[in-house]
Amino acid sequence: MNVRLALRLAWVAAAVSVVTGIAFAAGTAARVGATRARLASKVSAFAALREMQDRLLRHEAACRVFEALPRKRPRSPAELLELAVAGNVAREVREAERAPAFGGWTVRRCDISLTGAALAEAAAFAAAAEAARPPWRLVKCDVRADPRAPGSGRVALRVEALEK
């Protein structure tokens, strides 16, 4: 074989290799953007799953606390009002709704209206309801002061609790 021919073939082979390498590099560079986007999507999905798992673990811990309570029904709001509010206060307790929750538990919501109540008594009721086991949670509080009787007025509360 002629040396010149061999040298030319080597140059052609080198040129073909360089062109092929450039083509592969360009193809890979084009796919990097799409791959990066897919990886970013998966990373955010895993972060969301981690957040859901953490929330689930907190909920399961709360369920264990409620399951461990010796009493599964909260004290009635009327009973708690008797302890916290003076007898001369007009009061109305109305069950607003019951809704299924989880694991056989039910969310119970009550509307409470106090007329002529000392605002401190309403606060004492809220504290007693929160301290009860299972606790009542204050969801809504509307206070309208009575201009004729400082420190008292009309109080409308919505409380909710879990019961089994």
The string of pLDDT tens digits covering residues 130-164 is 999 999 999 999 999 988 988 889 999 999 999 98
Contact indicator for 152, 146 with CB cutoff of 8 Å: yes
Rounded alpha-carbon distances, angstroms, from residue 93 to 76, 85, 90: 10, 13, 10
* Domain-wise residue ranges, the chain: 1-68, 77-163
Identity of the amino acid at 98: R
Name the fold adopted by 77-163.
Answer: Alpha-Beta Plaits (3.30.70)
What is the rounded CA–CA span in Å between residue 40 and residue 91?
57
Query: Which residue has tokens 């009061």?
Result: 91
Is the pLDDT score of 94 beyond 70? yes
Higher per-residue confidence, 49 vs 146: 49
Buried b (16+ CB within 10 A) or exposed e, 13-26: eeeeeeeeeeeeee
Identity of the amino acid at 66: F
Rounded alpha-carbon distances, angstroms, from residue 92 to 1, 113, 122: 111, 5, 13
Global model pTM greater than 0.95: no
Rounded alpha-carbon distances, angstroms, from residue 144 to 114, 118, 148: 10, 11, 12
For the chain, what is the total number of helices (H) and then of strands (E)?
A: 3, 4
> Looking at residue 6, what is its pLDDT?
82
Phi and psi for 119 in degrees, rounded to 5? -60, -30
Mean pLDDT of 34-52: 93
